[in-house]
């Protein structure tokens, strides 16, 4: 185990690496963000990772949902992602759940952290309500076109967003991976008891000249 996580142990020490083995998280959605999150966090040494998704892999998913290949078409995303995680790391238990978030809530699982990898605001509102009911934080992430948002929700209120749904714009793989990377970093810092800024919304986008702009907004409390 120390050989596998050698570079991480160099970063934060054996005690924090051992702490990760005691942690349990849930990733809601195994598509674009979920694929990148699964690969990033599934190789980190977190003890147990629940993967929640009811969709199956389709050909148009593969270009940005980096955990999947053409051989996965027709299989459940959560099961395909769990297989990738298990192939990469022997120290993480990846548990697929082929259902929606409403069904997962009925399982009475209380993870240390919930990570949003969905693609709609109504489901994120449900995640926020559930997280507050079990007194756990969650990491919000959304991405579309050339922009994305990330926030570690603790005490702030997600209803500050206009809870509605709309048709998505186009998207390319790199921005998806970038937003998932930021979510994963926040998750790992929290799970290893490193300091993070909570309830701060990061809004990132590429302007017309291709410059990456980052803005920060303090989220209101309920």
Asked if residue 1 is part of any domain, the answer here is no
Residue-level pLDDT at 162: 62
Structural domain containing residue 146: 6-218
DSSP string, the chain: -TTTTHHHHHHHHHHHHHHHHT-EEEEE--SHHHHHHHHHHHTTT-SEEEEE---B--GGGTTT-TT--GGGTTSBHHHHHHHHHHHH-TT-EEEEE-S-HHHHHTT----SEEEE--S-HHHHHHHHHHHHHTT--EEEEEEEBTEEEEEEESSB-GGGS---------B-HHHHHHHHHHHHHHHHHHHTT-----SEEEEEEE-TTS-EEEEEEEPPB-
Q: Point out the residues of the chain with pLDDT beneath 70.
A: 162-168, 222
Residue-level pLDDT at 161: 73
As for how many domains the chain has, the answer is 1
Which CATH number is 20's domain given? 3.40.50.720
Residue-level pLDDT at 164: 60
pLDDT tens for each residue of 166-195: 666 788 889 999 999 999 999 999 999 999
Residue-level pLDDT at 59: 97
């Amino acid at each position: 185990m120390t050989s596998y996580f050698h570079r991480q142990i160099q970063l934060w020490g054996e005690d924090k690496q051992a702490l990760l083995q005691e942690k349990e998280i849930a990733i809601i959605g195994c598509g674009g963000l979920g694929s990148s999150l699964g690969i990033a966090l599934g190789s980190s040494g977190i003890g147990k990772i629940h993967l929640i998704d009811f969709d199956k892999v389709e050909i148009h998913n593969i270009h940005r949902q980096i955990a999947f290949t053409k051989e996965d078409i027709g299989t459940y995303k959560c099961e395909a992602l769990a297989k990738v995680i298990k192939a990469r790391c022997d120290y993480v238990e990846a548990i697929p759940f082929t259902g929606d978030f409403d069904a997962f809530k009925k399982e009475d699982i209380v993870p240390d952290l919930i990570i949003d990898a969905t693609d709609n605001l109504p489901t994120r509102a449900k995640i926020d309500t559930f997280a507050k009911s079990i007194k756990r934080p969650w990491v919000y992430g959304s991405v579309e076109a050339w922009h994305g948002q990330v926030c570690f929700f603790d005490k702030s209120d997600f209803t500050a967003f206009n809870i509605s749904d709309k048709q998505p714009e186009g998207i390319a793989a790199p921005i998806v991976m970038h937003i998932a990377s930021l979510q994963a970093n926040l998750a790992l810092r929290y799970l290893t008891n490193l300091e993070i800024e909570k309830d701060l919304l990061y809004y990132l986008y590429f302007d017309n000249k291709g410059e990456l702009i980052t803005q920060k907004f303090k989220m209101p409390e309920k």
